[in-house]
């Protein structure tokens, strides 16, 4: 058994690498006991996010090697477990990482790779049936039943991610420009957003030319939800986000055959807003009576560390690649 577990949570806004001792007793740290039982971490390092337009393997290997060097840990004494966005073919990424990091003996003893929706799920609910909704800059929902899994949304800011921070911020800007043109109702968002970009007619140029435009537009979601209590336009956007996230949850639950008392774990900043959360809770309860909405047991990084301990017969097992 390797001495260390290298857990990686890789997204477009940042990559976190945690190196921690392998538990001596497997029951001490497993998908049944949950990530809260994880041993004390050795090192946590944060790096810039991955660029999904470039090969993921090279980027991830560089960060893993850097973290191991910083922690003075030999990769041959580790098990590497990765959750990442932007991966369409987990087996291919696992094989490429094996080439980049080396064969057992010089490289990790084992490699586990999955989409970050899987690691978010395992971190939140372990190897149990339910639905996990993650809504931050983007949004993705994963349902897990007795035999199947179902991913809903997570298709990026251009063609998906409904209910995400980006979608809320973008709708806020559309409402502001409609108010400015006279095409839409007046909204307090207009003066609020004008504090950032005074000349509204230049806003589209400023925002589109910003290399960090996705995160920047998502940041306006906080300003939309902050005004939801007093502005009907902002409230409508916040309630739309909650309803969209709930619709995705219901869709995922239906696809994997969940009904009755279904556990729904919510992750991400968006669902911490009272208006969004109330709309979400109401829609989930209406469409899935008996559903129990809970906070996650752990993070996506915790879930990444547990990939190698997901049971072979689990519905999740088929979504995890090994090398």
pLDDT tens sequence across 82-133 = 998 877 788 999 999 999 999 998 999 999 999 989 999 999 999 899 999 9
Instruction: List, edge to edge, every strand of the sheet that includes 263-267.
Output: 149-153, 139-144, 130-135, 263-267, 292-294
What is the model's pTM? 0.86
In the chain, where the domains are located: 4-126+298-322, 133-294
Class (C level, CATH) for 133-294: alpha beta
State the Cα–Cα distance between residues 114 and 51, nearest whole angstrom.
17
Quick check: 63 and 84 in contact, CB under 8 A? no
Looking at residue 33, its pLDDT comes to: 46
Q: Which tens digits make up the pLDDT trace of 157-196? A: 999 999 999 999 999 999 999 999 999 999 999 999 999 9
Which 8-state DSSP code applies to residue 48? P
> Which CATH topology does 4-126+298-322 take?
Nucleotidyltransferase; domain 5 (3.30.420)
Neighbours of 200 (CB within 10 A): 16
Quick check: 270 and 136 in contact, CB under 8 A? yes
Quick check: 254 and 136 in contact, CB under 8 A? no
Same fold, 4-126+298-322 and 133-294: yes
Quick check: 304 and 123 in contact, CB under 8 A? yes
């Amino acid at each position: 058994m390797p001495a260390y577990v290298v857990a990686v949570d890789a997204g477009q806004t940042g990559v976190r690498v945690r190196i921690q001792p392998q538990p001596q007793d497997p029951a001490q740290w497993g998908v049944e006991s949950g990530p809260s039982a994880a041993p004390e971490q050795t090192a946590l390092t944060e790096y810039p996010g991955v660029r999904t337009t470039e090969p993921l393997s090279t980027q991830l290997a560089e960060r893993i090697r850097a973290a191991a060097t910083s922690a003075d840990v030999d990769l041959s004494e580790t098990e590497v477990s990765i959750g990442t966005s932007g991966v369409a073919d987990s087996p291919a990424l696992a094989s490429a990482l094996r080439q980049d990091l080396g064969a057992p003996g010089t490289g990790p003893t084992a490699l586990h790779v999955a989409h970050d929706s899987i690691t978010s799920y395992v971190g939140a609910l372990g190897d149990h049936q339910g639905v996990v909704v993650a809504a931050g800059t983007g949004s993705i929902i994963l349902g897990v039943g007795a035999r199947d899994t179902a991913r809903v949304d997570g298709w990026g800011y251009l063609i998906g991610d409904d209910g995400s921070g980006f979608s809320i911020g973008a709708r806020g800007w559309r409402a502001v420009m409609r108010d400015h043109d006279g095409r839409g109702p007046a909204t307090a968002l207009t003066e609020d957003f004008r504090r950032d970009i005074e000349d509204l007619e230049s806003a589209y140029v400023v925002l589109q030319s910003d290399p960090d435009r996705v995160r920047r537009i998502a940041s306006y979601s906080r300003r939309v939800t902050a005004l939801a209590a007093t502005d009907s336009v902002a409230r409508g956007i916040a309630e739309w986000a909650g309803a969209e996230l709930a619709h995705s949850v219901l869709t995922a639950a239906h696809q994997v055959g969940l009904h009755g008392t279904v556990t729904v774990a919510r992750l991400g900043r968006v669902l911490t807003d009272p208006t969004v959360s109330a709309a979400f809770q109401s829609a989930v309860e209406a469409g899935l009576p008996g559903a129990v909405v809970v906070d996650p047991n752990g993070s996506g990084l915790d879930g990444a560390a547990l990939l190698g301990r997901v049971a072979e017969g689990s519905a999740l097992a088929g979504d995890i690649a090994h090398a």
